[in-house]
Structure 1
Amino acid sequence: MGDLQQALVAYGPIAIFLGAAFEGQAAVIAGGFLAHQHLVTLWMALACAAAGSCLIDQALFLAGRRFRSTNFVIRTAQTPAFAKALGFIERYPVSYIFAFRYLFGLRMVSPIALGVTQIPSLTFALLNAASALAWATVFTGLGYWFGQTIETTFSRYKNVEHRVVVAAVVLAAAFVLFHLGRWAWPHLKARFQRAD
């Protein structure tokens, strides 16, 4: 077993957990691909993705609920994304808890915004856990399913080293594409607003 494969087997679940917590969909899709490559089990990838997403959002909710007078929460509350999140929460509180993970630009501020509202902590905790599991299932499943497509494309490479290299390339590409999209979105949005 090569060093890269050993690292992916040993640290893949941790990477999926942290990626789901701090990065989002791209890391979870990459986790599904790692499961397809049998470097982690599918259930491990799914559990790590759901746990990472659920725990970070629960922590941010508690920050909004218990530490609303801290600089971090005050600065977050002054952003346009926070105001937009509050608008959605006022209209669709339960639906929004299920939806915010899928909304680009609102994922990190939404749990804090939910924390400053009157939504009961237990209600948020239960809906957050269910939403994190559904989100993790969708994106882990996408990575697992597209893993078959990638594997078919590279089917001429049969040995383990090539499969590990493909897994590493997919992880790196997902990371780069996510951050490129995050950088480009404000510029595109500003251009469209000027056009209006």
Structure 2
Amino acid sequence: MSLAEFITQYGALAVFVGAGAEGETAAFLGGIFAHRHLMPYWQAAVAASLGSFVADQFFFLAGRYASRLRFVQTFTASDMMRRVTRLLETYPTGFILSFRFIYGIRIISPVAIGLSSVSALRFLALNLVAASIWGTVITAIGFLLGNVVEAVFGRLHLHIHLLIALAAVAVLIAATAILTKKYLTRPSRRT
């Protein structure tokens, strides 16, 4: 089975699992797969959105109902959890709609929301909206980058195209991580 056949057969499942486990890279690659006509764009976007939605619901429920688990307690003891909680308390709706776009706080955020007073129904609704937007946007970026790569380099072999896409993702993740670290790890100012 060739790589293209494998992606055609299992691409949506891979994007779903990858978007839930890792996030941006899987959704972005889903866009590349759609650009290469290995799967329909809508399928890649839906798989990315659902993967993100399901994973965030899981971590929310872990925070809400399994706060005694070791991995939840590890999160709650971290300095990052205090910063995430402070953002959540200050901007609850905005934070829930945007946390998945902020590198480095994607898993800890739904745990923090689960530990907060945000209702499960409110999180469910906002998570559905945010995951839909996130999956559509990140997959679209991958699709558009596929167009750019093809316009610049011509039609490449699939593995070369994917390597260029992964390099672009690595650069974007590194830049986002630097910005996130700069703005989220600043010492809090006490008045």
Q: 1:169 aligns with which of 163, 166, 188?
A: 163
List aligned pairs for 1:12-161, cutoff 5 A: 12-155=11-154, 157=155
Q: How many residue pairs end up in the alignment? A: 182
In 2, are the aligned partners of 1:30 and 1:170 still within 8 Å (CA)?
no
What TM-score comes out, normalization by structure 2 length? 0.86
* Structure 2: unaligned runs, 5 residues or longer: 187-191
Q: Distance in 2 between matches of 1:177 and 1:168?
A: 14
Change (3 A) 1:85 1:126: same
Q: Does the CA-based 8 Å contact 1:29-1:140 persist in structure 2?
A: yes
Question: Contact 2:25/2:166 (CA < 8 Å) preserved in 1?
Answer: no
Task: Please report how far the alpha carbon of residue 185 of structure 1 lies from its aligned counterpart in structure 2 after TM superposition.
Answer: 4.7
User: SS at 2:68's partner residue?
Assistant: coil
Indicate how the Cα distance of structure 1 residues 178 and 76 shifts in structure 2: closer, same or farther if over 3 A, else same. farther
Partner Cα distance (1:20, 1:51) in 2 = 8
* 1:27, distance to aligned residue in structure 2 (A): 2.0
Shift of 1:171: 5.0
Runs of 4+ in 1 over 4 A off after TM superposition: 174-179
User: Equivalents in 2 of 1:174, 1:15: separation in Å?
Assistant: 20
List per-residue Cα deviations over 1:104-155 (Å, max 9, x = no partner).
Answer: 2111100000000111101100100100001111111111112111111232
Q: Specify whether residues 82 and 59 from structure 1 end up closer, same or farther in structure 2 by C-alpha distance, changes over 3 A only.
A: same
CA contact (8 A) 2:46 2:136 kept: no
Change (3 A) 1:144 1:175: closer
Structure 1: gaps spanning 5 or more residues: none
**8 A contact 1:37–1:167 mirrored in 2:** no
Of all paired residues, the percent bearing the same amino acid is: 32
Task: Using structure 1 for the length normalisation, give the TM-score.
Answer: 0.83
Q: In angstroms, what is the RMSD of aligned CA positions?
A: 2.3
Query: Within 5 Å, which residues of 2 pair with 1:175-194?
Result: 177=171, 181=174, 185=178
Q: What is residue 189 of structure 2 aligned with on the other side?
A: none
Verify the 8 A CA contact 2:75 2:108 in the aligned structure 1. Answer: yes
Partners in 2 of 1:81 and 1:102 — Cα distance? 16
CA contact (8 A) 2:149 2:161 kept: no
- Tell me: CA distance 1:23–1:95, structure 2 relative to 1, closer, same or farther (3 Å): same
* Counterpart residue identity of residue 21, structure 1: G
Q: State the distance in 2 between where 1:175 and 1:146 align.
A: 10
8 Å CA contact 2:64, 2:114 repeated in 1 = yes
User: For the residues of structure 2 that align with 1:80 and 1:185, how far apart are their CA atoms?
Assistant: 17
